[in-house]
Amino acid sequence: MTEHEKWMEFAFKEAEQAYKRKEVPIGAVIILDNRIVGRGYNQMETLRDPTAHAEIIAITAAASQLDNHRLENCTMYVTLEPCAMCAGAIVLARIPQLVYGAADPKSGACGTLYNIVQDERLNHRVQLIRGVLEPKCSGILKDFFGKVRSNEMKKPKPN
């Protein structure tokens, strides 16, 4: 197992937490000096918050843990390619390296539809590593949405 696969497994465990809570199963971890300083999984349904993506939650946790909004020496691992909002947050947090599992053909903003994290017009660019544990990361999403479509997975109802 490579170092990237090792850390992606931790992100995948976060995705499993989301799955158990009937959230879209995406997980993220942020690593600094060979330890997790931030973690998160999707909580949009639970928190009724469109910004409660795994990446945003992990960035907030890491910034709090490190007492710094700049995550300059960190690496983020996320099971699905970040969307435009999350890609923008990664740039703003100055995360130098992003590793993701599955590409997102519908809203991927790190090389698929857009490439916000490497846009030369911005003041920070991110090194990308794509496809780490891709079959596993895409598999949990396919399973989840298969269950949603067949009504096996009922989403939480708003209060």
Using alpha carbons, select from 37, 92, 38 the residue that is nearest to residue 70.
92
Rounded distance between C-alpha atoms, residue 136 and residue 23, angstroms:
17
Q: Which of 5, 14, 16, 55 is catalytic?
A: 55
Phi, psi at 137, each rounded to 5°: -65, -40
3 as an active site residue: the answer is: no
29, 7 Cβ separation under 8 angstroms: yes
- Look up residue 51 and give its amino acid: T
Catalytic (active-site) positions: 55
